[in-house]
Every structure is written in structure tokens, then in C-alpha cells.
Amino acid sequence: MKIISYNVNGIRSAMNKGFVEWLKDTNPDIIGLQEVKAEESQIEANIFKDLGYELLWYPAQKKGYSGVAIFTKVKPKSVKYGMGLSKYDDEGRVLQADFDGFSFISSYFPSGTTGDVRQSFKYKFLDDVFGYMQDLSRENKKIILSGDYNICHKPIDIHNPISNKNSSGFLPEERAWMDKFTDSGFVDSFRLFNNDPHHYTWWSYRFNCRAKNLGWRIDYHMTTKELQNKLKSSVILPNIIHSDHCPIQLEIEV
């Protein structure tokens, strides 16, 4: 089974840049999207349904902001919208689909780049999502938590760790949370297969960063350890350009 996660930074914008054609050619079984920035009624949903996808949509209440979605060719057994905490659910940050053998979650962690208020909100989200995932993993041992975490875990995951040491997304507290999360039983699937540097999933639109590969790896397929022996590959697709992020792809035996 092929599973993709992709922060599209506005699905309507991505569709104007060839997203539909790419999706048709790539043909994942499941794709989790972040920052859709639209409600389902604002796009031509039948384009995706005609490709065989069931659309699960969880937009933010604020128009043109945040929001996650899952498009799946495999019918889910059940779907859960949100974490049960309105301050995050109003922003459309977590969407779960349960399948035979595993649960898949498309998630969009908050960014703290706009200042102290949102950085504090991000820290609170990290605390709450950690507890939420611990509770969930006690009930369900096979989980894939995919999406934009807005955190580079280690120096290898960012193009310039020295100059960015005080930047939101690479702060010591954020990186310590990633340590805690992976220590708690979740596996960074990409690093199971690739320990090389210079692999990133997001690049600033400024300073020609993408062409120079001056990026950050902030998008992940994190899986519970119980799924580790089912993972066949985990790759980044940096040459796919519909967004300032790129897709990440996981292949799993089910």
C-alpha cells in the first residue's frame, strides 16, 4: 500500500499547478493533506472522486486557513474528526481514518513563527497531542501519524542548524518534544531507510532556497513500533512542486 502525506499550502493553488495530474499518475492508495485552506464545496471534488477516492475533509472554521483532509481508495472502517479539544479542532488539525490493520492520521501541527502567542499555542498543542497519542496507542497498537509537524528533529534535518538554533521549528524545547515522542514508541520512518543529510520537505520561497536546497525536514510519517516490520520504504519527493512543501511517501505491507 502506498501512502502519501503532503502539505499543499492551499489545495486550490496546488490544483492550478498540476496537483490533480500528479495524483493521477502517482496513484497512492491514501493521501493525507495539510493546509488545504478550503472547504470541500470550494473545489471540484468530483475530479478526485472520479479517480476513485473517497474524500474526508476537516477544514478550519476560519476561511482560507489550515485544515486537513484524507483522500482514500480504501474504504475506512471509521473516521474521527479532531482530538476533542475545540481550540485545535476549530483549526482543523487532526483527522483519523481507521482501516484493517492500522489507523492513519493526517495532522497539521501549529507554527510558532508569527510570535510568542502562537509559539505558546504550539507548545500547548505538543503537550496535548502527546497525551492524545499515548492514549490512542494504548487502544490501537498500529498507528501512522503523518503530516507537517513544523519541527526539525535533529541538525541533519535542517540546512543550517547553527544560524537556526533560535528559530521556531528548531528550538531546543521543540526538539526535546520530538525526542520524547520517538522515545514513547513512535518511529521516524524516513530515518529507518535513509540517514544521509540534505533531505528536506520544506523550503522558504525567499532567496531561491529550493533551487539551492536550503530546506527543513518538517514533514513525517511517524509509525508505532508495532508497524515497523511492515514498512517497505519511506521517501521524500523533492522534485514535486505544487507547494513550498513536497510530498513524502510511505510504502507498507498490509
- Report, as residue numbers or ranges, the catalytic residues: 148
Compute the distance between CA of residue 72 and CA of residue 191 in angstroms, rounded to an integer: 25
**SS3 for 113?**
coil
Distance CA 117, CA 177 (A): 19
Closest CA to 187 of 250, 254, 108, 139: 250
Helix ranges, 184-230 (H) = 189-193, 209-212
Pick the closest to residue 90 from 120, 118, 114, 62 (CA basis). Answer: 62
Question: What residues have CB less than 8 Å from 195, skipping those under 6 apart?
Answer: 156
- Supply angle C-alpha 58, 79, 3, rounded to 5: 80
Looking at the chain, list the stretches that DSSP marks H as alpha helix, in order from N- to C-terminal side.
Answer: 11-16, 19-26, 45-49, 86-89, 116-139, 172-183, 189-193, 209-212
